[in-house]
């Protein structure tokens, strides 16, 4: 059985918000190979991560 999320995950989040909510440092994020990171989308020049991509990334780590 999967655990309930304790924090509400916004539909789009900035990288610092993602790092905080998912407990990963900026350095550890960028050390991951490109294919092992959640997909980053850009709105203008701002990089954002969608909630579904963040959750899929987290679930893949648990497998």
Q: Express each pLDDT in 1-55 by its tens digit.
A: 445 555 789 999 999 999 999 999 999 999 999 899 999 999 999 999 999 999 9
Does residue 22 contact residue 51 with C-beta atoms inside 8 Å?
A: no
Contacts of 42 (CB under 8 A, 6+ apart): 48
The pLDDT score that the predictor gives to residue 6 is 56
Could you tell me the two tokens for 41?
Answer: 């989308």
Burial class (CB in 10 A: 0-12, 13-18, 19+), 49: buried
pTM, rounded to two decimals = 0.84
Looking at per-residue confidence, does 1 or 63 come out higher?
Answer: 63
The pLDDT score that the predictor gives to residue 1 is 43
Does residue 31 contact residue 19 with C-beta atoms inside 8 Å?
A: no
**43: helix, strand or coil:** strand
The pLDDT score that the predictor gives to residue 63 is 80
């Amino acid at each position: 059985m999967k655990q309930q999320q304790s924090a509400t995950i916004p539909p789009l989040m900035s990288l610092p918000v993602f790092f905080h909510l998912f407990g990963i440092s900026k350095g550890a994020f960028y050390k991951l190979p490109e294919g092992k990171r959640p997909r980053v989308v850009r709105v203008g020049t701002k990089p954002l991560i969608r909630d579904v991509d963040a959750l899929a990334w987290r679930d893949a780590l648990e497998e």
